[in-house]
Structure 1
Amino acid sequence: MDGVRLLRLGKRLTELGREMIIDPASAHLTPGEIAVIADVYRHPATSAREIQVRTGFAQSHVSVSIARLRERGLLDAAADPQDGRRTLLSASEVARRAIREHVARPAGPVIAKAVPDPERARRVTELLDELAVLLLP
């Protein structure tokens, strides 16, 4: 496998992963908003600046995404107990529940849709499980 094929494979796997975790109800979220809420989910009680550093997004983009997510009730905000001027963000209970439900879904149906032959879809699932064991920490 060369680098270009590896990048193409990574992109395709990302597309399949997004299809699994993004349902029609969340389709109104932009990819940037999804990245912000995913970051906050992994790093609760975090600041906008910390989100900006981890995601690499411009501060203005992070701020707009945070405002939209707060309006939708997907992010909770609280004053930093150590520095009252700072706001700390966490995923709301509604967002955490939705994320847990979507992440826990099996990949089989998405893979079967991408690879219509049932035997090949089963093999793809096996290979992905093996790659996950070998490549993920």
Structure 2
Amino acid sequence: MDGVRLLRLGKRLTELGRAMVTDHASAALTPGEIAVISDVYQHPGSSVQDIRVRTGFAQSHVSTSVARLRERGLLDAAPDPADGRRTLLSVSALARGYIRARVARPAEPLLAQAVADPAQARRAAELLDELATLLLPGPPPAATPEPTPVEPPGA
């Protein structure tokens, strides 16, 4: 496999992965909001400045995204005990529950849509499991994997 084909495959797998963990309700989130909530999911207890540094977004963009996500109940905020002027953010219990439900779904139905032949779709699922075992660090997840957060229905 050459590098270009590998990049194309990676892009296709990313598209399929996004389809797995997002739905029509996610359309209400901007790509920037998805990036912010994903960052907070991976780094609970973050300040707006922390998120800005990690995402590379402008401070105003992060602040606006955080305000919208808090209004929707997707982010929780608490004062920083070390510096009362700062607010620390975490993904809300509501959002975490929705995220877990979305990522716990099996990939096979989506693969069956992407690959017309049922036997080939099953084989693709087996190969993807094998690739994940070979290429991803650590043991296979026994629990929920790190997802891309999405908005809960009705938010």
Coarse TM-score class (shorter-chain normalised): over 0.9
Matched residues, percent identical? Answer: 75
Answering whether residue 59 of structure 2 is matched by residue 59 of structure 1, we say yes
Aligned partner of 2:31 in structure 1 is 31
- The secondary structure found in structure 1 opposite 2:83 is coil
Alignment length (residue pairs)? 137
Find the aligned partners of 1:43 and 1:110 in 2 and give their Cα distance.
Answer: 29
**Structure 1 regions of 5+ residues with no counterpart?**
none
**Comparing 61-70 with 49-58, which one deviates more in the overlay?**
49-58
Question: Which structure ranks higher in relative contact order (CA pairs < 8 Å, sequence separation ≥ 6)?
Answer: 2
Bigger helix fraction: 1
Aligned partner of 2:77 in structure 1 is 77
Find the aligned partners of 1:54 and 1:104 in 2 and give their Cα distance.
Answer: 27
- The secondary structure found in structure 1 opposite 2:65 is helix
Q: Normalization by structure 2: what TM-score?
A: 0.83
Shift of 1:54: 2.2
Please identify runs of 4+ aligned residues in structure 1 that moved more than 4 A.
none
Shift of 1:114: 0.8
1:21/1:49 CA distance change after superposition, 3 Å:
same
**Comparing 24-33 with 51-60, which one deviates more in the overlay?**
51-60
The one-letter code sitting in structure 2 at the alignment partner of 1:44 is P
**Structure 2 regions of 5+ residues with no counterpart?**
138-155
Alignment root-mean-square deviation, CA: 1.3
- Measured against aligned partners, the alpha-carbon deviations of 1:35-90 in whole angstroms (never above 9, x if no partner) come to 21122112111111222222233333222211111111111111100111111001
Answering whether residue 120 of structure 2 is matched by residue 120 of structure 1, we say yes
